[in-house]
Amino acid sequence: MLDVVRKFPEQAREALEMDFEFDIDFSRIRRVMVAGMGGSAISADILSHFSKIPFHVVRDYAPPPFLDEKTLFIAVSYSGNTEETLSCFSLAKEKCPHVAITTGGKLGEMAENVIKIPSGFQPRAAIAYLLFPMAKLLSRASIIDVDLENAIYILESEREKMEETARMVANEMTGIPLIYGYGVMQSIARRWRQQFNENAKMHAFDFMLPECNHNELEAWEGSREKMTCIFLREREEGERIKTRFDFMREEYKKRAKVIEIYAAGKDSFSRAMYHMHVGDLASIYMAERRGVEAEPVNLIMKLKETLSQHSRSSS
């Protein structure tokens, strides 16, 4: 798993070179809706922060009712067999132009427009293939405006720094990690949480600024648990957010360990990729430290199997 995750910069470059062409009139598109779950959905979450038009990420069995013919519907599922995504896709397919991003599976069979990505990875470790082709599609359609080349350059040139930071996080962490982010880093904080859950097999929680300042902040008045707060910061975060983070650090450090990480990169997408990669690596180092195997997701697979047995026996 560590070897695969370390290849994220190379995978991102390979994914960016993938080519596709669809007969969709993007000038008519007024909103984007992406259906997906877990390691597949997070790619859309991240890109939603850069969209110039309404962008909805659906993690459920049905799309919301405002889906219409001006919606670009993207179904993203690494396996192509995730039941929530398939259910959304079959409800949306006839109503609007669609694209599927998948290795194949049922989704690959059902969709007309498919971006086929390489198989053989855990979905969460295939984030480059799930994210970069979607970003390329949306950039070409002028829906987002992100510098994908620069993001890859940052991933390549900051490799050592990211490794070092990830090791430091895994070595210094005690108790439950609480991860905080603002703007696109809200989605990156969620990714960190998911990666600690799935790779290190541990609980973790993510929080978004400024919202958490209106609720979670107060929990520190009575907090007794052992925890590590990880702040995903940017030098460009702006005065108001800087003041909030600085305030939080001074309060939280009275009761917990606080780790602040600043991302490299001249634009917000590159900085998001930087922070994401640090988190991915940290979760694997944390798995090593805890003596657990990062790759298998036995309980997730057991539930998927239970659900499919259930649908077989009830049909």
Distances in Å between the alpha carbon of 250 and those of 74, 178, 244, 298? 43, 16, 10, 40
Q: Would you say 32 or 88 has its CB closer to ligand F6R?
A: 88
Look at residues 63, 294, 78 and name the one whose alpha carbon lies nearest to residue 194.
Answer: 294
Binding part of the chain for ligand F6R, among 60-68, 73-81, 153-161, 279-287 by CB under 6 A, reads 73-81
Across 55-211, the runs of DSSP E, i.e. the strands, are 55-58, 71-77, 98-102, 114-116, 176-182, 205-209
Binding part of the chain for ligand F6R, among 59-67, 111-119, 122-130, 240-248 by CB under 6 A, reads 122-130
d(CA 97, CA 160): 42
Q: Would you say 79 or 113 has its CB closer to ligand F6R?
A: 79
Nearest residue to ligand F6R by CB is 38
Q: Would you say 44 or 273 has its CB closer to ligand F6R?
A: 44
Cβ(268)–Cβ(234) under 8 Å? yes
**Could you give the strand order of the β-sheet that contains 205-209, starting from the edge strand earlier in sequence?**
205-209, 176-182, 227-233, 257-262
Q: Is 49 a catalytic residue?
A: no
State the minimum distance, in angstroms, from the CB of residue 155 to ligand F6R. Answer: 20
Q: Is 198 a catalytic residue?
A: yes
* DSSP letter (8 states) at residue 144: B
Tell me: does residue 124 bind ligand F6R (CB under 6 A): yes
d(CA 292, CA 147): 37
Catalytic residue chosen out of the listed positions 94, 214, 221, 254: 214
d(CA 233, CA 262): 5
Tell me: does residue 40 bind ligand F6R (CB under 6 A): yes
Look at residues 44, 10, 15, 21 and name the one whose alpha carbon lies nearest to residue 117.
Answer: 15
User: How many positions of this chain bind ligand F6R (CB under 6 A)?
Assistant: 15
Tell me: does residue 300 bind ligand F6R (CB under 6 A): yes
State the minimum distance, in angstroms, from the CB of residue 223 to ligand F6R. Answer: 29
Catalytic residue chosen out of the listed positions 84, 198, 234, 237: 198
Written as six digits, the tokens of 192 are 């960190």
Cβ(230)–Cβ(188) under 8 Å? no
Q: Is 251 a catalytic residue?
A: no
Tell me: does residue 187 bind ligand F6R (CB under 6 A): no
From the list 122, 165, 186, 187, which residue makes contact with ligand F6R (rule: CB under 6 A)? 122
Q: Would you say 171 or 309 has its CB closer to ligand F6R?
A: 309
Q: Would you say 39 or 177 has its CB closer to ligand F6R?
A: 39
Catalytic residue numbers read 198, 214, 304
Task: Give the interface with ligand F6R as residue ranges (CB under 6 A).
Answer: 37-40, 77-79, 82, 85, 122-124, 198, 297, 300
